[in-house]
Each structure stands twice: as C-alpha cells, then as structure tokens.
C-alpha cells in the first residue's frame, strides 16, 4: 500500500511541477505549486516525518503561497505574452533535454554513495532535534532566507508603485 501511495503522490508532484512551469497565468502556477507542496507533505507522512509534513503544509502550502498570491495580485500580473521560438530550439529542445537528464541520472548514480533502500516510516528524528538543529547549526541560512523574502516583498511593492505613478 505504501508503494502505491508513493507512486500516486510522486506522480501528482511531478505533474504539478510540470504544470507550474508550463502555465501562462501566474495564479495557475501558484495553484500548481500548492499541489506540489501538498503531495510532498504526503510523501513526508509516508516516511514517518509527521512534523515535517505539518510544517510543509502550514509554512509552504499555507503562508508562503498566500505571500506569492498577494505579490501576484499586488503586481497585477496578467497572462504571459507568447514569445517566438526559433526553429533550432523547437528541433533540438526535447532531444537535448532527454540526453541531459539521462547524463545527470547516470552521474548521480556513479557519484552517490551506495545507500540502502528507503524504508517507509523510518524517519525517527523528532521536532525537538529538528528545532535544535535548525536554530543552532542552520540559524544563519534560516535568517538569510527570511531577509530575502522580506526584500522580495519590498521589491514587489516598489514595482507596483512605479506602475501606479
């Protein structure tokens, strides 16, 4: 049953990820990103990481996506204008992407250490250890990320004000 659920939600994550990139309207992309975040939370649940799944839903699918939608609405971003594609990009795009992904998978298989299979429900790090690690070892990246999000909000406000004036 775990394998079936994994395949189902991994497929949903990949399809929503492709939809995120392909969408022409920013709100559609934001909704696709919510689909990716929700399916990742279910994958965390399958691994037995309930706290990380809850944080995934609350922080990313909840708060960050509200922030993204707010910025999209503030900028009044419309549908993306279609751009002209050159014939070499149309002809060589998909084959070169396939070769690149195959090469990347091969190199990852060569360089990755041989680790055992993932067993579902094996994640046993609790919220206490995770919090200590986050605020001791990873405090600087955590704070830098929050400052970057604040700068992005301020940049969106500045861009929106220029359009109004």
Please report the sign of the dihedral spanned by the C-alpha atoms of residue 45, residue 49, residue 50, residue 53.
negative
Residue 88 resides in a domain:
no
CATH code for position 66: 1.20.120.1200
Residue 85 resides in a domain:
no
Say yes or no to pLDDT of 111 above 90: no
What is the model's pLDDT at position 69? 75
Domain membership of residue 71 as a residue range: 2-79+124-164
Residue 99 resides in a domain:
no
What would the mean pLDDT of 3-17 be, rounded to a whole number? 93
What is the model's pLDDT at position 18? 93
pLDDT tens digits, residue range 43-88? 988 888 888 888 888 888 777 777 777 777 777 666 666 666 777 7
Among 120, 116, 119, 118, residue whose Cα is nearest residue 45: 120
What would the mean pLDDT of 5-29 be, rounded to a whole number? 90
Q: How far apart are CA 10 and CA 13, in angstroms?
A: 5
Query: What are phi and psi for residue 79, nearest 5 degrees?
Result: -70, 145
Helix crossing, 139-164 with 127-136: angle to 10°? 70
How many independent structural domains does the chain possess?
1
Could you give the C-alpha distances from 60 to 56, 95, 103, 112, 152, in angstroms and in order?
5, 34, 31, 28, 16
What is the model's pLDDT at position 121? 61
Residue 72 resides in a domain:
yes
pLDDT tens digits, residue range 112-125? 776 666 666 666 66
Residue 114 resides in a domain:
no
Q: How far apart are CA 26 and CA 32, in angstroms?
A: 10
Residue 117 resides in a domain:
no
Residue 90 resides in a domain:
no
Residue 15 resides in a domain:
yes
Say yes or no to pLDDT of 110 above 60: yes
Instruction: Note every long-range contact of 84-87, with CB atoms under 8 Å and residues 24 or more positions apart, other chains counting.
Output: none
Neighbours of 49 (CB within 10 A): 22
Q: Which pair of structure tokens corresponds to residue 27? A: 């709100």
What is the model's pLDDT at position 130? 73
């Amino acid at each position: 049953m775990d394998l079936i659920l994994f395949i189902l939600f991994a497929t949903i994550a990949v399809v929503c990820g492709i939809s995120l990139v392909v969408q022409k309207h920013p709100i559609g992309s934001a909704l696709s990103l919510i689909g990716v975040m929700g399916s990742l939370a279910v994958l965390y649940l399958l691994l037995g990481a309930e706290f990380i799944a809850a944080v995934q839903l609350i922080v990313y699918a909840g708060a960050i996506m509200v922030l993204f939608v707010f910025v999209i609405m503030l900028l009044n971003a419309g549908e993306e204008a279609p751009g002209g594609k050159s014939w070499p990009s149309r002809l060589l795009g998909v084959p070169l992407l396939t070769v690149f992904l195959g090469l990347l998978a091969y190199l990852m298989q060569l360089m990755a250490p041989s680790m055992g299979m993932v067993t579902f429900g094996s994640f046993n790090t609790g919220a206490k250890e995770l919090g200590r690690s986050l605020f001791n070892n990873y405090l600087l990246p955590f704070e830098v990320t929050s400052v970057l999000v604040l700068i992005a909000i301020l940049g969106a406000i500045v861009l929106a004000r220029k359009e109004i004036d």
